[in-house]
Chain A
Amino acid sequence: METLTTIVEYAVVLAVLFGVVFCLLGALGLVRMPDVYLRSHAATKSATLGVLCVLAGAFLYFALFEGHISAKLLLGILFVFLTSPVAGHLNGRAAYRSGVKLWRRSVRDDWEKALQQKEKGASSQENVRQ
């Protein structure tokens, strides 16, 4: 029991530390990255993983040291895991739709092509109707 407690103690400390470091890296990425899309890439992923790790650490702590299985923390982990990528996607999509340019050193833009094809398809359909 003594060793198990020690192991879980270290696991909690490592999980929380790992999560905090990832949140810090996300914040650094937000400052250092050149355009909206790269920033959202850095912030979304690392902040999600960081928060998940902190929540998992808190869950482990309460489960073993307070003897309290917190379903709210599990639900929170699931919730952040589901919502944060969707929020990142919506940020990027809204930025692209309102005409934010890609970083000047970007090499290809597949969505631009896809949108052009879609427009072309829509206009040709209108021609057929006429």
Chain B
Amino acid sequence: MKFSDLILQTAAKVLVFIIMTFSIYILFAGHHNPGGGFIGGLITASALMLLYIAFDAETIQEIIPVDFKIIGAIGVLMALLTGISAVVVDSAFLTQVYKYVDLPLLGKTGIGTALVFDLGVYLAVVGTTMTIIRSISEDM
């Protein structure tokens, strides 16, 4: 049976933007505040889940034509490459660099290679969670 509820669908359309924004904030706040790649990825996955609940799986699959297995693989690869790039410049594996840079719009911003690692964790978590949920729901 196809479930459709106008109130839920309209609310989901607004809420997904709030949840996604919050997940990105959590991802970037990870260095100085509570947050980071893992919890940011889980929040993004929950926003996607809200879409899956409010609409049906085929519609979402059309709108977001992404294979989440590949997303997870890209995430793990990114985390691995930050480690290997440290070896390339003659440091120990997974050595992180933190540096303050003057960006044109944001001013003085601290950028670390840990962010790339966190991004990898984020993508891996999103990919894994969505793959698990999708493959369970397809059996039903």
Contact = CB atoms under 8 A, between A and B. Distances in A.
Interface of A: 75, 78-79, 82-83, 86, 89-90, 93
Contact of B18 (A78, A86, A89, A93): A78
Nearest to A89: B7
Contacts of A75: 18, 22
B138 interface: no
B14 interface: yes
Contact of A90 (B5, B14, B22): B5
A9 to B, nearest CB: 27
**What bracket does the count of chain B residues touching chain A fall in?**
under 10
- Dominant SS at the A interface? helix
Contact of B15 (A82, A89, A90, A93): A82
A82 B18 CA distance: 11
B8 interface: yes
A79 B18 contact: yes
15 contacts: A75-B18, A75-B22, A78-B18, A79-B15, A79-B18, A82-B14, A82-B15, A82-B18, A83-B11, A83-B15, A86-B7, A89-B7, A89-B8, A90-B5, A90-B8
A93 B5 CA distance: 10
A18 to B, nearest CB: 26
Contacts of B14: 82
Contacts of A93: 5
A78 B8 CA distance: 16
A82 B11 contact: yes
A95 to B, nearest CB: 14
A49 B96 CA distance: 46
A90 B5 CA distance: 9
Interface in B3-48: 5, 7-8, 11, 14-15, 18, 22
Nearest to A97: B3
Given A83-B11, A89-B8, A90-B5, 9 more contacts: A75-B18, A75-B22, A78-B18, A82-B15, A82-B18, A83-B15, A86-B7, A86-B8, A86-B11
A37 B5 CA distance: 18
Contacts of A89: 7-8
